[in-house]
Amino acid sequence: MSKPRVAIIGLGIMGSGMAGRLLSANFPLSVYNRNRDKSAPFSSAGATAAVSPREAAVKADIVISMVADDVASRSVWLGENGALAGVSRGAVLIECSTLTVGWIKELAAAAAQRGCELLDAPVTGTKPHAASGELSFLIGGSEAALATAQPVLSVLGREFIHLGPTGSGALMKLVNNFMCGVQAASLAEAEYMIGAGGLDLEKALAILTRGAPGSGLVQRAAARAFANDFTPNFPLHLMAKDLGYAIGEASHLGRSLQTATSALAIFKDAIAKGYGDQDFSAVIKSQQRG
């Protein structure tokens, strides 16, 4: 059987890694990015560089979006030049961005009107996981659509967790990311205490990362902060966005996320200090003395 034709919309840190994986596996691929310069390496490698999301989606069996937020997602899917205007009936649409549940449900309804199915399939993992095909997909939508998308997702990830109907993947991703943000913010405050109290940083971090607080995220963030390497795998401003989305979603569910609210304040402070485009682990540096 021939491989499905795929379109990827959004060639940022994650989307570019995903596009590279599909090209290496010889999938017919079209790509779109608002900054067309980012499409050039992929067109040189055999992809079709589209001038609009609509053009990218015209011949695709699977359309994948990986963009920053609800506003960006809405702009690439809807409107005269949006992907939904060009997509064929029966195509499976995969929204991999971290978005609000409300927008995902609105998008799914718009997709259904076009005779398509939507999977909300945000991912866990960062830049190296996207490039190596080791992402984990948190999936909401029908089992039939997931089965159709499986050949493509198998190239992009190592794990596919079907969580339930439309919106389930988006909700789980917000839960995941708000907990990550809380851990990073707590580590930032911990490192402040370590420095202010005159403790040896290397010894203190060894105690934290090897002991009960030492989640994988804490270990990686501590290592990056200790090395003073904040090259973005996941930009800090996007973590702040995800914390805000999670707080809003919890409010719809009748809950106030007090830990996420406190963490968001710390991340907003880091953005105000100029760390927004660095890796989210730079929140640690933003809280250091001096």
- C-alpha angle with apex 22: 13 to 5, nearest 5 degrees? 120
pLDDT (tens digit per residue) in 45-102: 999 999 999 999 999 999 999 999 999 999 999 999 999 999 999 999 999 999 999 9
In order, the DSSP letters of 161-202 are EEEESTTHHHHHHHHHHHHHHHHHHHHHHHHHHHHHTT--HH
Instruction: Determine the average pLDDT of the residues in 263-273.
Output: 98
> Which residue ranges form the domains of the chain, and what is each CATH number?
6-165 (3.40.50.720), 171-286 (1.10.1040.10)
**Contact status, residue 30 vs residue 86, Cβ threshold 8 Å:** no
Beta bridge partners of 6: 29, 62
Catalytic residues: 173
Contacts of 30 by beta carbon, 8 Å cutoff, 6+ apart: 5, 6, 7, 8, 47, 48, 49, 50, 55, 56, 57, 59, 60
Give the residue among 69, 41, 36 at the shortest CA–CA distance from 52. 36
User: Does residue 55 sit in helix, strand or coil?
Assistant: helix
Give the residue among 64, 90, 39, 69 at the shortest CA–CA distance from 235. 69
Confidence of residue 131 (pLDDT cuts 50, 70, 90): very high
Instruction: Quote the CA–CA distance of 118 and 123 in Å, as a whole number.
Output: 15
> Quick one: pLDDT at residue 130?
97
Q: Are strands 6-9 and 62-65 parallel, antiparallel or unpaired?
A: parallel
Q: Are strands 123-124 and 135-140 parallel, antiparallel or unpaired?
A: antiparallel
pLDDT above 90 (res 229):
yes
User: Does residue 261 sit in helix, strand or coil?
Assistant: helix
Helix crossing, 201-210 with 216-227: angle to 10°? 160
pLDDT above 90 (res 149):
yes
C-alpha 120 chain-centroid distance: 12
User: Does residue 232 sit in helix, strand or coil?
Assistant: coil
Instruction: Quote the CA–CA distance of 278 and 22 in Å, as a whole number.
Output: 27
Average pLDDT over the chain, rounded to whole? 97
User: Does residue 80 sit in helix, strand or coil?
Assistant: coil
Against a cut of 0.85, is the pTM above it?
A: yes
Q: Hey, what amino acid is at 226?
A: F
> Quick one: pLDDT at residue 138?
98
- H or E stretch including 266? helix 258-272
pLDDT above 90 (res 1):
no
